[in-house]
Chains A and B, each alone.
Chain A
Amino acid sequence: MQIFSCPFCGPRPEPEFHFGGELGNHRPAPDCSPEAWAQYLHFRTNPRGAAEEIWLHIPCGELFKMHRDTVTMTALPGRALGDQP
C-alpha cells in the first residue's frame, strides 16, 4: 500500500488515486499531422526512475502533479496543477 500526498487532502492511500498520464503531453493543434496526433495519443516516454506525472485524487476530484520514482516507488508530495515546478 503506497501513500501519495494530494496537495489538497494530504497523504492518502493508493486506492484513492488514479494515474492520469505523463506531465507535459500537450494536445497538438487540431490540424496536426497524423504522426503528431499519434505521438500525443499513444506514444510515451515511460521513464525508468524519475518521472513527472499527473495524478487524480478520486475523492476530491483534483488533478495534480507528482514527482515519483518508478523503480523505488518513492513519491514526493503532489503539487497543484497551477503551481510552478
Chain B
Amino acid sequence: MMSRSAGNRKTFSFTGEGKDIPSIGKKREKGKIVASLEEAFRLAEVRDGMTISFHHHLRDGDLVVNMALDVLAGMGIRDLVLAPSALFPVHESLLRHVRSGVIRSIEGSVNGPVGRAASEGLFSSPVILRSHGGRVRAMQAGELRVDVAVLAAPAADAMGNLSGISGPSACGSLGYAFSDAQYADRVIAVTDNLVHYPAVPFSIPQTLVDWVVPVESIGVPEKIVSGTLRVTRDPLRLIIAEQVAKVVEESGLFTGGFSMQAGAGGISLAASACIRERMKAAGIRGSFISGGITGQSVEMLEEGLFESLLDVQSFDLEAVASLASNRGHAEMSASFYANTASKGCVVDMLDVAVLGATQVDTDFNVNVNTESDGVLLHGIGGHMDTAAGAAVTVVVTPLFRGRMPMIVDRVLTVTTPGETVDVVVTERGVAVNPRRKDLLENLRGKGIPLMEIGDLKKMAEEFTGIPKTPSFGEKIIGIVEYRDGTVIDTIRQRI
C-alpha cells in the first residue's frame, strides 16, 4: 500500500479492486458461505480464552450452542468464556466441556441444569447474570467483549442477511441477537435454511455478518415455539389474574393509549386475558404491548385493542406468523427494548408490567434467580428492566408453592430492587408499596383486598411454617449485575 500526502490528508493509491479491503464482488454466488463451523472458527481465528456469544431464540430446541462447543472442543480450544443471552435444559451437555476445561466461565443467563451445576460450585469464576437490557449495555460499554458471535439463523442468504420468520426452525423475532451481531468482532451465522438473496425481510443485515455456515438442522421445531399458549384453567392462577386486572383497571392508567407488558407465564397470560375483557367492556384502545409476544397479544392487536406489538421474542406459532404478516407487529432489539444506556428504550414508555417471582420480600425486593432452596435456576430476563421502566410494576405470585412461602422477610437473592416494584398480587391479598401512596389512593375502596406486605408474609407462614434458611458456602458462584452495571447481589455456593 503506497501512501503519500495531499495537503493535510494522508491518501493511498489505488492498487486494485478488493486488494486492500477484501470484497465478495465477483465471487457473489458463493458469498460468505463456508463449508463447516470448524472452517468458520478457523477463519475467525478462534483462540483459547476467547469469548463466544449466542442468542437463545431457539430456546429448549436449540442445537447450535452444543454443536459449536463440540466443534471448538474438537479443535482443542480451551478456556472459553461463554456469553449466551440464555441457556436452557437442552444445554446440560455443555457441562462436560466445563469439566474438561473447554469452557472456563459463563456470562449470561443460566436456566436449569447449568445453573444447578454452578450452584454446586462447578465453575472456577462466578456466572455473571445480566438482564436483557443489561447485557447490551455491557457490550456497548466494552465490559462484555465478544470475540465471536455464533448466531442461529432460521433463514439466511449467502451474504448473511438473517431472519427468524421462516424455515423449519422459525422462531419469529431475533431481538436478542442484534447486539451480538453489532458488537462481536466476528459474526458467524449458522442456518438450516439457505434462501435466495436477498432474504427480505431480514432482521440482521449482511453488513454485520462475516460467514454463513449451512448445517443440516439448527433446532427442534416443537421445542422452539409452542403451539397456541392456552390461558390456564388453574382456578388459583385465575383468581390472581382477576386481581391483577382489577388493580390495572383502577390504577389510574387504564385509559386510551394504555400500554403493557405481560409474559407468557401462566398467571401473566391469564392476567392479559382478564385485562383484554376489561378493555373491551370499557371500550379502551391501547397503544402497545411489548416484550415476549404470544398468540393472545396477536389477537388483541387484530381486535384493535392495541395499535402495535413490540416483539423481542415470539413465544408461539401465532406470534411468529403475525410478525411475518401484521404491519403493527414490529421486531425490536434487546437494546431498543430495555437498554438503559441506549438513547431511549421501550420499557420507559410502559404503563403496566406484570411480572413473576420466585420470592418477594417485605421490602418488595424480588428474586427471580434462585429457588427457595438457594439453587440458581433462572435467568433475569427483562425483569429488572421492565420493573424499573413501567409506571406501575405488578408482581404476581401465589402466597405459597407446595410448602414454600413465596413472601419472606428477605429474598435469598435480590434480582429486582423493591423500589421499582409497586404492587404484589397474591390469591389472598394485594400489597401496595408504601412508596406509592398515589396508587394506594386509587386502589382503596374498589373491592381489592389490600393488605400490608408483612401481613401477607405472616399469612403465608400460617400455612407453611417458617422455613429454615438454606446453608451457603463462602464461594460466590453468581453475580447479579443490575441493568446499570452495578452489582445488586451475589449468589453463594449451596452446601
* A interacts with B: no
Using a CB–CB cutoff of 8 Å, the interface residues on chain A facing chain B are none
